Amino acid sequence: MAITREEVRHVAMLFRMALSEEEVAKFQQQLSQILDYFQVLRQIDTEGVPPTSHPISLENVMRADEPRPSYPTEDILANAPLSERGFFRVRAVLE
C-alpha cells in the first residue's frame, strides 16, 4: 500500500475532516491505487522545465481602489447556520 491508515487519518486531519474506521480502510485502498498510478510521472524528464500554475500568463490584475457597496449583511447571514447581532456565531474556540 502506497499510503498507511495512519497517513490517511493524518491527511484527513490536516484538512480538519473526520473519517470513520470503515472510511479509513476504504480510502487507504483506493488512494494507494491512485498514488501508484501517479508513479508514471517518474518516467517523464522535467529537468530544467519551469512549473506552470496558470494556463494563460497574467500579471497581477489591479483595479482602482474605489469604495463600492457590499452585499447587505442580512442577505449574507441568511445562509448562516447560526448568527447573532449581525455576526456569524461559532462555538467557543477556547474553553
Partner 1 sequence: MELYDLTIHEVADRLARRELSSHELTQAVLDRIRQMEERVRAYVTVTEELALNQADEADRRIAAGDAAPLTGIPAAIKDLICTKGVPTTCGSRMLQNFLPPYQAHVTERLLDAGLVMVGKANMDEFAMGSSTENSAFYPTHNPWNLERVPGGSSGGSAATVAAGESIYALGSDTGGSIRQPAALCGVVGLKPTYGRVSRFGLVAFASSLDQIGPLTKDVTDCALVMNVIAGHDKRDATSAPLDVPDYTQSLIPDLKGIRIGVPQEYFVEGMDDDVRASIEAAVSKMQDLGAEVDREVSLPSTGYALACYYIIAPSEAMANLARYDGVKYGYSDMRGDSMWQNMELTRQHGFGDEVKRRIMLGTYALSAGYYDAYYLKAQKVRTLIRREFDAAFQRCDVLVTPVSPTPAFKLGEKTADPLQMYLSDVCTIPVNIAGIPAISVPCGFADASPEPGRRGLPVGLQIMAKPFDEPAILRVAYAYEQATEWHKARPKL
CB-nearer residue toward partner 1: 49 or 85? 49
Contacts with partner 1 by CB under 8 A lie at 3, 7-8, 11-20, 23, 26-27, 30-31, 33-35, 37-38, 40-41, 43-44, 46, 49-56, 58, 61, 63, 71, 75-76, 78-82, 88, 90-93, 95
Least distance from C-beta 94 to partner 1, angstroms?
Answer: 9
Least distance from C-beta 57 to partner 1, angstroms?
Answer: 10
For residue 18, give every residue at least 6 positions away whose Cβ sits within 8 Å of its Cβ, in sequence order, or none. Answer: 12
Cβ-contact 31, 8 below 8 angstroms:
yes
CB-nearer residue toward partner 1: 40 or 65? 40
CA distance 93 to 73: 23
Instruction: For the chain, state the CA radius of gyration.
Output: 23
Q: How many CA atoms lie within 13 A of 24 on its CB side?
A: 15
Least distance from C-beta 47 to partner 1, angstroms?
Answer: 9
Least distance from C-beta 65 to partner 1, angstroms?
Answer: 13
CA distance 25 to 4: 9
